[in-house]
Structure 1
């Protein structure tokens, strides 16, 4: 049943700009670092002479949580807005399909879109490194995969929370404001205690106990998604 709902959801987001945003984030992040390295090429390449790929990834990693949280916010809001704008919740939930399937399909859809975005980040950073002359022979393939996907797994609590808010609140300004605030605050995440979820994407990539924070993200994300599902099942929608 969930797969039927998911198939319908893919059709609904056509022409809504979601795929454009999913591509804009990682490509824009790589382009920003391209500008950074382009303007300070000699200085940065000298500073990172021992490990230029590591230096590039270090510069990219700081901005990954910001891009992730902002991307999650926009993707969830646009997905939910398809239903809210058309006032189609009653028609959708009147169909012979459970609310659990509807909520689960939208969560899976948001997660898959995020996976595509994170894959593009890995590819974009790899291409940027090649353009900067860092060499394919020294390309850290595993680190490129890690920077694309480990922060994403640690950010699943934010995905679950944003989807919950976006689906249950018709006013998308509230969920968007919370998501944008989280994105801005994440710039100072390294000053937070390790138990703060906004810090987990950074720790999942560069912390000493990466598996702990990835696991924490998966677990808390599942808990928030379950709470959101229960609330969605019980809430009257317009």
Structure 2
């Protein structure tokens, strides 16, 4: 049943601006670092000459958490708003599909769209490095893939929370405000305790034991799905 709901959701997001957001984040980060390295090429190449790829990845990674939080917030809000704007919740939930399946289908759609963004970020970073002439050094393909996906795992608790809030509220002002606030706070994650989930996307990349925060993000993200699904299954709809 969930797969039928997911197939329907794929059709509903046409023309809703979601694919624009999927491409905007990774292409924006890539373009920003292209401009950064283009303007200061000689200086940055001299600074990172021992490992040019590490320098590029480090510069990109600093902006990945805020991009994930903002992108996840907007994608969750737009997915939920498809039903809110058309006032189609009653019709949707009257179909022979369980509410839990509806919730999980929308969650899976959100996660798949963010996976596409992470893949585009890795591809864009690889292309930028090659354009800048970093191909003379060994290309760290594993680190390039980890660039987006490690932080993505660390951000899962907040993404699950954002979908829960977005599906629960007809007015998207509050969920979006929460997402923007968390995105801005993530900039100061270096000053927060490492046990705060808000810091996990950054620590999943830069910590000495990144797998601790990747695993923590995955586990807490799964735990956050449970109350969201239960609340959605019991909530009255308009």
TM-score by length of 2: 0.98
1:190 aligns with 2:181: no
Match of 2:114 in 1: 114
Correspondence 1:28-177 to 2 at 5 A: 28-135=28-135, 137-177=137-177
Would the alpha carbon gap of residues 159 and 136 (structure 1) be closer, same or farther in structure 2, given more than 3 Å must change?
A: farther
| Aligned residues: CA RMSD | 0.8
Q: Is the 8 A contact 2:52 2:137 kept in 1?
A: no
Q: Secondary structure at the match of 2:49?
A: coil
Q: 1 CA distance for matches of 2:201 and 2:209?
A: 12
Q: 1 CA distance for matches of 2:136 and 2:214?
A: 29
Q: Which runs of 5+ in 2 are unaligned?
A: none
- CA apart distance, 1:201: 0.7
- CA apart distance, 1:54: 0.4
Q: 2 CA distance for matches of 1:182 and 1:33?
A: 23
* Aligned residues between the structures: 238
Would the alpha carbon gap of residues 136 and 157 (structure 1) be closer, same or farther in structure 2, given more than 3 Å must change?
A: farther
Q: 2 CA distance for matches of 1:69 and 1:3?
A: 26
Match of 2:229 in 1: 229
Q: 1 CA distance for matches of 2:116 and 2:156?
A: 15
Moved over 2 A (4+): none
Q: Which runs of 5+ in 1 are unaligned?
A: none
Match of 2:202 in 1: 202
Q: 1 CA distance for matches of 2:58 and 2:45?
A: 13
Cα deviation per residue 1:11-44 (whole Å; 9 max; x = unaligned)? 0001111011001100100100111111111111
